[in-house]
Amino acid sequence: MTQSVVNVQQIEPGIVKVTMQERVHKNTFSDELTIGLIEAFAAIQANASYKVVILTGYDSYFASGGTQEGLLAIHKGKVNFTETNLYSLALECKIPVISAMQGHGIGGGLALGLFADFVILSRESVYTTNFMKYGFTPGMGATYILPKKLGFSLAEEMLLNAGNYRGAELEKRGIPFPVLPRGEVLNYALELARQIAEKPRLSLITLKDHLVSSIRAELSKVIEQELVMHDHTFHQPEVKERIIALFGK
């Protein structure tokens, strides 16, 4: 299966690679990328031969979060981020997912990666939850998954100050993920995928279901809380001004 901006390829028996390559919009969540990802994971769910997914981007981009049009639509109250549930694709996937984040993970793009079962970062890339830069509170499950995966103190800092963090800096801060030179991320992910693919598929599905069951159960409540915060914060005139100004840079 090949989408124009999402490529799905079985690279070895049991190992499927999903490559996000929305080059026009630098892997922001355009309609094409969103539809491509949803269709890709639906196809993976339906394929009984797959055992593990490698999710990655292209060049220096992993995933870059919302488009300007998408954020302005939320500001106007036309949509909300739950309409596609991109953030939960890796979490809801039956088989283990490896986020090979060889490039920048920005806003919802970072959250997308952190919901995977395994996360690999690159030293050169920028990772940020930049929601508050635009003046609205975080969504995409970021207020849950960052503390869960990175620890509360670092997550609170990243969510409140919306700063940019290179992978090398996060490594020094003690994050519990491998941080490698960009050129080594995919190879590391493939070796990890091979180790996973050695196991029986049923056992992988059963164990993942057990390990993430509490996350799946708790996430829906957090998403409701994030939507309430969006209702309070997203519709400020200043937010629209910030979205237009920041995307204009």
Q: List active site positions.
A: 230
Token pair 């490896």: residue? 98
- Of 72, 106, 63, the closest CA to residue 244 belongs to 72
| Token pair for 185 | 């991320």
Scored b (16 or more CB within 10 A) or e, 10-37 reads: eeeebbbbbbbbbeebbbbbbeebbebb
H or E segment at 224? helix 201-233
| 215 touches 149 (CB < 8 A) | no
Q: What is the DSSP track for 85-131?
A: -GGGHHHH-SS-EEEEE-SEEETHHHHHHHTSSEEEEESSSEEE-GG
User: Residue type at 63?
Assistant: A
